[in-house]
Structure 1
Amino acid sequence: MNIKSVCALVVCLFVGKVFSQTTTIDELLNQIEQNNTELKAYQQFIDGQNLQNISGNNLPNPQLSGYYLPFGDHQSGDYTEFEISQAFEFPTVYVARSKWNTLKKDQLQAQFTKKRQEVLLKAKQGFINLYILQKKKDIEDDRKLQSQQVYEQMQELFKKEQVGILDLNKAKVAWIQDQFVVEQLQADIQNQITVLQNLNGGQLLELNKLRVEMPFELQSVETLWNEKLAKDPKLLELHANEATALQNVKLEKNKRLPNIDLGYNYQGVNGNNHSGIYGGLSIPLWNSKNKVKAAQANYEYQQSDSQVAKQHLYAELLQQYNQYQVLLDKYTEYQNTIENLNSEELLFKAYSLGEYSFLEYYMEVQFYRDATGKMLQMEKELQLLQAQLLIHQL
């Protein structure tokens, strides 16, 4: 094996090791989905609701009744009678209710998916905040080190009487401020980690090498809307509400049909007995009154509510999409401009060479720090807005 092959192998192993240590947001979201206690509890609630709906389509319990009449003034033998019967609704009612249960299951699943996306969106926003905080801390760690070096240099210059006490104190204050910023960021990072671990059911998350993709160009708003129509649980729930309400109209119409009783009857007296089939029908005169009209009114309401909700969601999507495009253009322009400015490292070198006084250096570096902080804030806003726009992909 030649030296080029060996070097290539070493580079591949090093890169592989680095990327194996990084953790993407998608990997962390998968962990939270599995461990989140709120989602587990809500899934149990959904399962219970589905079972309760299914149980509503069960047959009523069979009824057994009997008579034994030994008392009284009679010449014949004691009278005996018993009857076992089973009541049930008209068979088409069970078919209609079974379809209604299936649609209710879809409705409940859409509600669970909506809850799941709310939890995952909260987690994703937390990861974005943590990522930005980690980036800020890396920057502030370097700044704190530079401030310390500047302060130490000012001490040497002060001893040589080349600078006054005011400049020395300014350098010390700047160093103290940078130390406080780092400490505050460390506390913010720990607090954010605690929130994320709580979302993960209290279990630890590997967050030291968190990797977040930079904002990118989105698809057209029409494409995003079509994706949401197919995947967004809010829209799917609206469709499920309509379908369930329509099936409820059909169910109430079927429930106007008579209920049926079938059974077996035995009667015996003085050694003689009679037995046979028992049957009966309920006459649906009062119980179903206005129920079909009420179900139809609810269906019409669900249709109107879905139309209004879709219009609202589309308008919200347009607003967020336009805001994202404006912010992305501004961020891109800002980023290109920042790259052409002198970096803090170059400014520090110039200060070390005596090309800048402390006051000049501090003013220049503060301008660059403000610009960098603004760019990080814009990146955070872009990431958060993008997460909201693409919530249906979670």
Structure 2
Amino acid sequence: MLKSSTSLLLFTVGIFSFDAPAQNFDTLLNKVVSNNTELMSSVAATHSELLSLKSENNLPDPEVELEYQWGRHEVGDKFDVNVTQGFDWPGVYAARGKANKIASEAMSYLNRSNYIDKRLEIKQTLIDIVNVKKNMAVVKGRLALMDTMIEKYTTGVNNGELTILDLRKLKIEKIRLNESMAALESEFALLKSTLEVQNGGKNCDDIIASIDNYPDDVILPAEEYEKIIEENDPSVKYSSLMMQSQAQRVKAERLTRLPGFTLGYHHSWEDGDVFNGMIVGVTLPFFSTHNKVRAAKALSRSLEYDEMTVAIKKRATAKADREKALALYKQMSAYEAVLKNDNSVDLLGKSLDGGQISLLDYLGEMDYYMQAERDYLAAQYQYHQTLANLNKYKVLD
């Protein structure tokens, strides 16, 4: 297994530091997930959907009819009361009940799937924040160096030892660096507002201040991802169970073509005489069930194709993400091999002080090395984003 790199460049001086324990990232991630209101909303929505499905299996409401008729004086009045209850063929309710039971299990997997997707979304936001903070550290280091050099060159110009042109070059370089910092600060502010929304509207300054390093994820063997998708992917299980539930609904729709019944009680009062009796009716569903079975079968086929499509897409995506992560790991490692313990900044400073290179050459070289440092950070960032997506189902281990 390949571990994420734990050494991180202190780019301004060309040395590496070491990551804090990975559980710090996961602890902060779990804190935000627990505050997320969208997850609470999705759970309520799936519960509402399940209740709607169950309500379809209820008996129709009983009917009460009152009838009063006025007759001629010599005949008298007539009063009737009917209380009736209609219901489908008994097997319909059993089939719908089985469908709802399977759907209930499917909804639990849908909630898990929504949880995983939202957790990944929040995790990627935190990874974005780590990336921006690391890039800001690079630019801050360069700005600190520019301030030192501007102070030095200002003294040199005042003493007549250095030219005003060189001082202007340094100030122009600082303006460019400030522009880079402003862009990063704008991105940071946007990410902060995004995280606050994901944190249920709660202040997240302490979370942002605490998170400086990426999670300690690993790339697993290819066959392990096949197993994870088969055993741990709730969206695949959701699709499978919904297909089974729909099969029971097809059965229920077939049974609705059988007669329904109405049973009831009849009470009649006429000219002082009282009559009590039963009402028995039969509903012949010649028209109401037209095309319902075919519609249910079509939906069942659609869900079957969805199940196959979801599984195929998941496997293909996992394979592509794993290959991408491996390529990024190699790229990241190549940068580390060159940049670790790099003393280019010191060497360039000595060359400038010794007159071996001009200030313009120095600034160009410094910009080149800073871009290399940011290219490394870009590879590191893409690696962890890809790995987060690749390992998102491991949360259910």
TM-score interval for Structure 1 and Structure 2 normalised by the shorter chain: 0.7 to 0.9
1:62-141 correspondence runs (5 A): 62-72=62-72, 78-141=77-140
> In the superposition, relative to structure 1, how do residues 70 and 168 fare at CA in structure 2: closer, same or farther (>3 Å)?
closer
Distance 1:195 1:257 in 2: 56
Q: Would the aligned equivalents of 1:215 and 1:379 in 2 still touch at CA under 8 Å?
A: no
Match of 1:242 in 2: 243
Q: Are positions 1:185 and 2:184 aligned together?
A: yes
Shift of 1:134: 0.9
Whichever residue aligns with residue 262 of structure 1, its letter is L
Q: Would the aligned equivalents of 1:64 and 1:83 in 2 still touch at CA under 8 Å?
A: yes
Whichever residue aligns with residue 28 of structure 2, its letter is L
Match of 1:323 in 2: 324
> In the superposition, relative to structure 1, how do residues 51 and 120 fare at CA in structure 2: closer, same or farther (>3 Å)?
same
Shift of 1:109: 4.3
Q: Would the aligned equivalents of 1:239 and 1:306 in 2 still touch at CA under 8 Å?
A: yes
Distance 2:266 2:330 in 1: 84
Match of 2:311 in 1: 310
Unaligned runs of 5+ residues in structure 2 are 1-18
Match of 2:274 in 1: 273
Q: Would the aligned equivalents of 1:29 and 1:124 in 2 still touch at CA under 8 Å?
A: yes
Whichever residue aligns with residue 137 of structure 1, its letter is M
Match of 1:40 in 2: 40
Match of 2:28 in 1: 28
Match of 2:196 in 1: 197
Distance 1:190 1:306 in 2: 40
Distance 1:270 1:214 in 2: 88
Match of 1:146 in 2: 145
SS in 2 for 1:277: strand
Unaligned runs of 5+ residues in structure 1 are 1-17
Shift of 1:271: 4.0
Distance 2:347 2:91 in 1: 83
1:147-162 correspondence runs (5 A): 147-162=146-161
SS in 2 for 1:24: helix
* 1:117-145: CA deviation from partner (whole Å, max 9, x where unpaired): 44333322221111111112222222211
Shift of 1:210: 0.3
Distance 1:32 1:340 in 2: 36
Taking only the aligned residue pairs, the percentage that are identical comes to 23
Whichever residue aligns with residue 50 of structure 2, its letter is N
* 1:88-140: CA deviation from partner (whole Å, max 9, x where unpaired): 22332222212222333344444444444443333222211111111122222
Match of 1:257 in 2: 258
Distance 1:215 1:364 in 2: 33
> In the superposition, relative to structure 1, how do residues 271 and 179 fare at CA in structure 2: closer, same or farther (>3 Å)?
closer
Whichever residue aligns with residue 39 of structure 2, its letter is L
Count of matched residue pairs: 374
Match of 1:11 in 2: none
* 1:196-216: CA deviation from partner (whole Å, max 9, x where unpaired): 112223211121120433665
Shift of 1:373: 0.9
Q: Would the aligned equivalents of 1:265 and 1:278 in 2 still touch at CA under 8 Å?
A: yes
Distance 2:79 2:172 in 1: 105
Q: Would the aligned equivalents of 1:347 and 1:365 in 2 still touch at CA under 8 Å?
A: no
Q: Which has the higher contact order (CA 8 A, sep 6+)?
A: 2
| Root mean square deviation, CA, Å | 3.0
Whichever residue aligns with residue 30 of structure 1, its letter is N
Distance 2:217 2:63 in 1: 68
> In the superposition, relative to structure 1, how do residues 166 and 86 fare at CA in structure 2: closer, same or farther (>3 Å)?
same
Distance 1:109 1:83 in 2: 44
Match of 1:53 in 2: 53
Match of 1:10 in 2: none
Shift of 1:87: 1.5
1:237-386 correspondence runs (5 A): 237-339=238-340, 341-344=342-345, 346-347=346-347, 350=350, 354=354, 357=357, 358-386=359-387
Distance 2:258 2:88 in 1: 8
Shift of 1:262: 2.0
Distance 1:304 1:142 in 2: 55
Distance 1:360 1:268 in 2: 113
* 1:38-62: CA deviation from partner (whole Å, max 9, x where unpaired): 3333333333222222222222221
Distance 2:223 2:23 in 1: 32
Distance 2:20 2:295 in 1: 60
Distance 1:33 1:120 in 2: 6
Distance 2:254 2:179 in 1: 72
Whichever residue aligns with residue 101 of structure 2, its letter is T
* 1:329-388: CA deviation from partner (whole Å, max 9, x where unpaired): 1211221121153253x3476368647543454344333212111100100111111122
> After the TM superposition, which of the residue ranges 149-158 and 27-36 deviates more from structure 2?
27-36
Whichever residue aligns with residue 90 of structure 2, its letter is P
